[in-house]
Structure 1
């Protein structure tokens, strides 16, 4: 083969290889366009389905293993829920007798009674919102609100199981204890009012502004020598005077039948009022005798027990320290529940484990 023919063949081969290379590149580009178009179509289908498909909120809860709370040792359980495990079972029994049940809602699994009681104790013993409680116990916020309100409604009707007026022998025992404490005879209790902070209501909000310049609901409590409530009365606006609060309660209406020969210790709010069953201090106008001053000191020493009772209750059942964003109807139920649980959880102890020097703390302004 001569040189001219070889040159022609070489040029022809180079042209063919170049065209073959260009064909491979075109084929790859075409495949990429097809794949890109297919990916676009797939994304379009997914987006269309996401629009047409009903949205389902996936909420992940951290409290899926809430049952382990029931397996805590007694000390840890009491530290979290403010009562012992034995007291928890007794309280659960009271609530079941009152009508608490495990019920269904919108096809969801039923809430066990134990879970409802645990949520209630956590709610009233802390200041967590319903969102935090729902996360801790693996329920929706609405279910947590419904269950806690159900328990509150039931326990507020069970006052007979937790708070009762002393009978004959109990009065004598309490009178003896008060006499040892303050030296005054025939005293079976101490009475005082306590402010529970709340937000300003829409209707007649000015009535709830108290003399300490915050909005509150009043609680009237009477305690025995052990610091246990023997009578509670609540629901009146914070602007109401303690004496007016007493006149609105059944204690004032039935004091002759209930008190007999015994008396209660009260502070200066009851001075000059028609309360013959209350021993109140004399006003210090600069002309008090030594006997009057000693008597005032004895009354103050005896009344200290109710101030401590209010402090311990607010310390243990911390929900009542601040009831903002709570409707007025529910506030009374919460206050009553705290008073009942104060008696129920106290037992034989009249001290506070967290504050051995006494409650309330110095920065507690809403006493």
Structure 2
């Protein structure tokens, strides 16, 4: 009986092994992805086909080209853009992306880095500070949203998990006890980023991050007579352009309680922006083995893609009633 079981196990093992050898890369027919229905395409790549075509056009304008590698046929620009979007929208490894698109792992890694570098030079294509007319429109929209006058945006910080860096690693341990880099986002009433600052270590306080940002050096010119909504992290700081809630010690007057409630209602746009961005661009959830400089580029790229995709008609396929906020990462 023992000998029979052993022979059966050897036979099964040989069959399984031969089956593994027949598994081929799935990317030889990658063009079929372009023939997906609109809903299916958006489900996989997190963009509509018109948005994909727009991104491809902008990347081509900024220098992305076909490249030969070790005598192999060049990788088409369309394929590069699909690979980049797949990388940003999923948590697959480079090996899995290599298999899916029939490109070597080294070329896959190189293509992703090239596209990241290019897209990070295109900031003003996707994010810009509002002009005078846009500020007035935002102020009117925020007044309808929360009853506060003169508000054109909400500001907050967001954490992205990283592996402990080799240099000054302790600086990246945040108060939630995990390693992270910070993203400062200023968001308008449409949940679009109008300014970002990415890269400070996780232990940096939101107020200190604001002071270190380029925005702080030009806030008077940018803000005019308008204001931003901020949370308690900005209380007691010298930020005259940030409206913050009053500290509630249990005896807060009714008028101040109403003001706090209005600020909270207005600030929801920045929380929802972070939530939607992390829900759609899932690469932000898995950056444990990524260099810090690349993490910063990925974070910026996610903000750009968020703005490119955001719209009144956009509904998350998985969360039609609103993307959940990652409470431990968006504080």
TM-score normalized by the length of structure 1: 0.82
Which segments of 5 or more consecutive residues in structure 1 lack a partner in the other structure? Answer: 1-57
1:226 matched to 2:193: no
Identify the match of residue 128 of structure 1 among 70, 73, 92: 92
Deviation per residue, 1:91-118 (Å, 9 max, x gap): 0010011110001011111000000000
Identify the match of residue 311 of structure 2 among 347, 353, 364: 347
Distance 1:322 1:292 in 2: 41
The answer (yes or no) to whether the contact 2:42–2:48 under 8 Å persists in 1 is: yes
1:243 matched to 2:203: no
Compute the displacement of 1:350 (Å).
5.7
CA pair 293-233 structure 1, distance change in 2 beyond 3 A: same
1:365 matched to 2:320: no
Compute the displacement of 1:285 (Å).
1.6
Compute the displacement of 1:321 (Å).
1.7
Deviation per residue, 1:143-188 (Å, 9 max, x gap): 1111111000000110110000000110111111100110000000
Distance 1:193 1:350 in 2: 24
Match of 1:150 in 2: 114
TM-score normalized by the length of structure 2: 0.91
1:256 matched to 2:214: no
Q: How does 1:105-254 map to 2 (within 5 A)?
A: 105-254=69-218
Match of 2:257 in 1: 293
Deviation per residue, 1:17-56 (Å, 9 max, x gap): xxxxxxxxxxxxxxxxxxxxxxxxxxxxxxxxxxxxxxxx
Deviation per residue, 1:108-150 (Å, 9 max, x gap): 1100000000000000000000000000001111111111110
Match of 1:29 in 2: none
The answer (yes or no) to whether the contact 1:265–1:278 under 8 Å persists in 2 is: yes
Distance 1:365 1:233 in 2: 20
The answer (yes or no) to whether the contact 2:127–2:195 under 8 Å persists in 1 is: yes
Identify the match of residue 273 of structure 1 among 237, 240, 249: 237
Distance 2:249 2:258 in 1: 15
In structure 2, the residue corresponding to 1:230 is in which secondary structure? strand
Q: How does 1:79-90 map to 2 (within 5 A)?
A: 79-90=43-54
Compute the displacement of 1:252 (Å).
1.2
Compute the displacement of 1:75 (Å).
1.4
Distance 1:352 1:117 in 2: 22
The answer (yes or no) to whether the contact 1:199–1:324 under 8 Å persists in 2 is: yes
Larger radius of gyration: 1
Deviation per residue, 1:296-334 (Å, 9 max, x gap): 000001001110110000000000123110001101100
In structure 1, the residue corresponding to 2:184 is in which secondary structure? strand
**How many residues of Structure 1 are paired with residues of Structure 2 in the alignment?**
310
Compute the displacement of 1:343 (Å).
0.4
Compute the displacement of 1:364 (Å).
5.4
Identify the match of residue 302 of structure 1 among 242, 245, 266: 266
Distance 1:351 1:210 in 2: 32
Q: Stretches of 4+ moved more than 4 A in 1?
A: none
Compute the displacement of 1:352 (Å).
2.9
Distance 1:342 1:283 in 2: 33
Compute the displacement of 1:348 (Å).
2.8
In structure 2, the residue corresponding to 1:64 is in which secondary structure? helix
In structure 2, the residue corresponding to 1:335 is in which secondary structure? helix
The answer (yes or no) to whether the contact 2:235–2:245 under 8 Å persists in 1 is: yes
The answer (yes or no) to whether the contact 2:146–2:266 under 8 Å persists in 1 is: yes
Distance 1:84 1:190 in 2: 28
Match of 1:50 in 2: none
